[in-house]
Amino acid sequence: MNSFDMRVMRVVMRTPYGKVATFGQIAELIGSYVKTRQVGWA
């Protein structure tokens, strides 16, 4: 797993149970908004 994937997983793990975060929101939180589609593959 590369560093991008690790950043995505950290954000996903902080998302409270029952809440929803879009790929775009996650990408924005890790500072890589242009990689929205890549978030889905992480």
pLDDT, one tens digit per residue, over 10-40 is 999 999 999 999 999 999 999 988 899 999 9
Q: Whose structure tokens read 């975060």? A: 21
Q: Reply yes or no on whether the pLDDT at 3 is more than 90.
A: yes
pLDDT of amino acid 31:
92
Q: Reply yes or no on whether the pLDDT at 42 is more than 90.
A: no
Tokens of 6: 């690790």
Predicted TM-score (pTM) of this structure = 0.84
**Dihedral sign computed on CA atoms, order 2, 13, 19, 29:** negative
Long-range pairs for 22-30: beta carbons < 8 A, 24 or more residues apart:
30/4
Tell how far CA 27 is from the center of its chain. 5
